Chains A and B, each alone.
Chain A
Amino acid sequence: MSEELRELYQEVILDHGKNPRNFRDVKDATCHAHGNNPLCGDQLVVYLKIGEGDVIEDVSFVGNGCAISVASASMMTELVKGKTIAQTEHLFERFHAMCTGDEDHSDDGTLADDDMDRLSVLSGVRAFPVRVKCATLAWHTMNAAIHGQDESTTEV
């Protein structure tokens, strides 16, 4: 088994992939969006409950996908719960930069470093360009939901 593969499929990812957290809908969601990866047909829905002060009070997802996309969605829901929309958008920006290897945006000092530390297990996708979209699908979808769009694809 190659080093690159081990980097990609770390224990944490396999665990989230098999036992996704917040894998449910949110009954009193204030917004949601459908995510679609046209390349593989994977689909998911992200639900958000945004409360006072733009704080994400609850977030969840349903759907199916590969280990990478499910793990990324699962970790995302854990990390953004309790954050404001602005904080969440920052985190998405940095996460996206990490996945695509864009160092310029990878640190702007506004986020707790343990968030990026936790997400760093997904940095293995950099060696697999076609899988970057798997890692970012849930995030794009969450972003679409926040901005009142009900659909998102990885083709953006």
Chain B
Amino acid sequence: MNDAAAVLSVADAPYDAQAYRRDFPILGETVHGKPLVYLDSAASAQKPRQVIDAVRDVYEHGYANVHRGVHYMSERATDAYEGARTKVREFLNARHDREIIFNRNSTEAINMVAQTHGRRFLAPGDEILISVMEHHSNIVPWQMLCEEKGLVLKAAPVTDDGELRLDDFAAMLTDRTKLVAITHTSNALGTITDAAGIVRLAHDAGAKVLFDGSQAAVHMPVDVQALDCDFYVFTGHKLYGPSGVGVLYGKEALLEAMPPFLGGGEMISHVTLEKSTWAGLPNKFEAGTPMIAQAIGLGVAIDYVSAIGMERIAAHEEDLRRYATQRLASVPGLRIYGTAPRKAAVISFSIEGIHPHDIATIIDHAGVACRAGHHCAQPLMDRLGVTALTRASFGLYSTQSDADCLVDALEMAREFLG
């Protein structure tokens, strides 16, 4: 067989979730005496052995502070850290490594844009447009900025299905809209928004666009150049990487124009007691010792998902979503929230007469881990007229059997409480 054929056959091979599962040690755990059925990947994904080993390897064989030493270990750690940046750049298909800023998580990345770009370039009366289905971390930083600067925060509506329709979105844009900050995929409903359409309309209106890709980057391929968005954020722990590392992508010219976020070491060019000058990108936004091992671990997580292929992960999860949706429909009294035409494998639901907390507690005893609550999206819960929902979310290691276990556990909860 020649090389090309070998590559093809890997891509065409059936998706072997069982093989991937073996890479995730925690999936072999039992809880309450039952095998763990992990359906909370949207809150945080589990980590493959490769990532766990890579983090340990950093500390055992290649650790020192980065960008600071001329000694071997510092160079080695710096190379690995900067190598991770390159992997993130490739993963998002950004143009330059310096457009990739490491920080703690999506929340910090959004706050960074609010407090630097937002504070510098938005003026009283300017509008920021979000949607009603944002995670609190894509609402609160803007509220804080609006309060401080006298800006106006607007929220585009969603339909009963949880779809953000482009005509509704367009109707919210005005000549005062300076920034659009919208989820690329809703953590509560799974809705995938029409990112390209949003960028086109926003840019026509003269607004910059930030996407919260916390959920999107883990479920599908993302190409920031094709999208032409101005900022894109995601968080490492949902992408099978360590917690404590997140990413802000920004177009170079915008990042260049923005003032620093935090001041301190690493982000300066020269410091005197009177005045300091800033380092170039990306260091300007990475004050202090960064999350070295975590960033390197994120790079390995990206290697891991890229080796499988984001397209294939997306296809696997889409199959699962369809299967789980259809299985859940058989549970009496169950209602799924979020039925937009384009959805990721995130399924929120209610069961008549049983509160989500009680559902989650009972199915937990069958080993099934689901999230119950408002999913950090209270404005969306208000819009849907509920206070809480139960959410099952699937990852690259999830299987139909996980969905079956969920349905069985829900039947048990209904018998017990219904």
Contacts and interface: CB of A to CB of B under 8 A. Distances in A.
Interface of A: 1-2, 4-5, 8-9, 14, 18, 39-43, 64-68, 70, 128, 131, 134
A70 B417 CA distance: 14
A40 B357 contact: yes
Contact of A9 (B32, B373, B416): B416
Contacts of B378: 41
B100 interface: no
Contacts of B358: 9, 66-68
B388 A4 contact: no
A131 B365 contact: no
Given A1-B416, A65-B355, A40 B365 contact: no
Q: Which 5 A-B residue pairings sit nearest by Cβ, starting from the closest?
A: A41-B374, A66-B357, A66-B355, A40-B373, A41-B387
B388 A41 contact: yes
A43 B32 contact: no
B301 interface: no
The SS class assigned to the A binding surface is mixed
B363 to A, nearest CB: 10
B224 to A, nearest CB: 33
Contacts of A70: 355
B325 interface: no
Interface in B375-392: 378, 381, 387-388
A67 B417 contact: yes
B361 interface: yes
B166 interface: no
B351 interface: no
Interface in B336-390: 353-358, 361-362, 365, 372-374, 378, 381, 387-388
A18 B418 CA distance: 10
A134 B357 contact: yes
B365 A42 contact: no
Interface in B382-410: 387-388
B412 interface: yes
A14 B353 CA distance: 11
A1 B365 contact: yes
Nearest to B415: A1
B374 A40 contact: yes
9 contacts: A2-B365, A40-B356, A40-B372, A40-B373, A41-B373, A42-B387, A64-B387, A66-B358, A131-B357
